């Protein structure tokens, strides 16, 4: 896939995930993560986890990014945000986060948490832009023993 012209990326849609999106999300998982979620895990999230909510960014019928959250008794936990590397840096994650914040504004969710790799400064800056604050460290959280930064946002 070739990198889009930033002027053309406005032509994408954010919508709720459907079952047919699992393949596209799994493709992005494999491109973005050293320990991707399995197709079975993604399907379980969609079909059986009543706490899970997912959105996809779609361009020309192809999933180019996605975001997952768990909504649990007044709290949200962002599980994943991943963007196809060909579309990174073009505002896709920003639009997914904006959609999520719009949904939160209309819900009974009072706080949101997430874990992010300490080395992932780009993601940390995105979250800070949306009002997330550093709240702690989870030692050796990731498979490569990298620490995770815990971030929180109150509504």
Active site residues: 115, 127
> Among 129, 102, 77, 120, which Cα is nearest to 14's?
102
Residue 95: strand, helix, or coil: helix
87 Cβ contact list (under 8 Å, min separation 6): 3, 4, 9, 57, 59, 64, 65
Q: Is the dihedral of CA 31, 126, 102, 155 positive or negative?
A: positive
> Among 101, 83, 80, 102, which Cα is nearest to 91's?
83
For the chain, the helix, strand and coil percentages under 3-state DSSP, each to the nearest 5: 30, 35, 35
CA distances from 80 to 11, 60, 64, 110 (A): 23, 23, 14, 19
């Amino acid at each position: 896939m070739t990198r889009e012209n930033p002027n053309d990326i406005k032509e994408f849609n954010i919508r709720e995930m459907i079952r047919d999106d699992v393949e596209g999300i799994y493709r992005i998982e494999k491109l973005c993560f050293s320990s991707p979620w399995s197709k079975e895990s993604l399907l379980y999230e969609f079909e059986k986890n009543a706490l899970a909510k997912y959105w996809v960014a779609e361009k020309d019928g192809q999933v180019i990014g996605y975001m997952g959250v768990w909504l649990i008794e007044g709290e949200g936990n962002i599980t994943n945000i991943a963007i196809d590397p060909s579309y990174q840096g073009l505002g896709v994650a920003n639009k997914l986060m904006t959609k999520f914040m719009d949904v939160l504004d209309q819900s009974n969710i009072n706080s949101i948490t997430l874990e992010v790799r300490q080395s992932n400064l780009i993601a940390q800056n995105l979250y800070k832009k949306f009002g997330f604050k550093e709240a702690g460290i989870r030692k050796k959280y990731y498979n490569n023993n990298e620490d995770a930064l815990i971030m929180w946002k109150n509504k």
